[in-house]
Amino acid sequence: MLQVLTGSQKGRKLKVPKGSKVRPPTSRVKKSIFDRLGDISGLRVLDVFSGSGSLGIESLSRDTGHVTFIEKDPAAFKVLTENLTLCGFLGSAELLCSDYENALRKLKRHNESYDLIFVDPPYELYKTMKVSDFVENAGELLRELGILIIEHDHKIEDSPAGFSRFTKPFGGTHVSYFTKEVSSE
């Protein structure tokens, strides 16, 4: 069962799209992520590969100021919209029904930036892409002291240039936290 862990919508059950395309983070993984983040109130958040919206909705429940959701699957997008409506968060969200690359390009054109970026791609994409590809692409929207969090199904040994990384394993799932390295100039 997928539900909001804490905050204004604590205990609220969320819908999950039918089929196996969407893989929401487990409660254990989600709790670990948000425990590590601490107070996120007032932050601007980007939720890439949103699915049901679990991570972004958890953020809104914890009083972030705004979340932008990117989800290309129409069925998942419909469930995401229903979940946001159910929680009363539609007014604090921007929803983009688009593939992530086009959505990120659009956000870059509009000079958007975020304090916190969640990237939870379908594991199928790791057959042709690396974690660093997602970090470099979405990382352009990350504010200077922001954190990009990505879930992946395999161990990684390095970080893209300009980023520092911390990884926490959860069995077959790994969650990596990337921050931009501060230049010494």
Could you give the percent of the chain with pLDDT greater than 90?
Answer: 76
Distance CA 25, CA 12 (A): 16
What is the side-by-side strand order in the sheet with 114-119? Answer: 93-96, 66-70, 44-48, 114-119, 142-152, 173-180, 163-170
9 domain-assigned: no
93 domain-assigned: yes
Print the domain residue range for 146: 39-180
pLDDT digit string (tens) for 46-81?
A: 999 999 999 999 999 999 989 999 999 999 999 999
21 domain-assigned: no
Mean pLDDT check: name the lowest of 107-116, 165-174, 176-185. 176-185
pLDDT of res. 181: 83
| Token pair for 84 | 């946001």
Q: Mean pLDDT throughout 78-88?
A: 96
- Checking if the pLDDT of 183 tops 60, the result is yes
31 domain-assigned: no
23 domain-assigned: no
pLDDT of res. 47: 98
Name the residue type at position 66: H
How many domains does the structure of the chain reveal?
A: 1
147 domain-assigned: yes
11 domain-assigned: no
**CATH number of the domain that 111 lies in?**
3.40.50.150
55 domain-assigned: yes
CA torsion sign for 122, 22, 79, 29 is negative
| pTM recorded for the entire structure | 0.94
Q: Mean pLDDT throughout 153-164?
A: 86
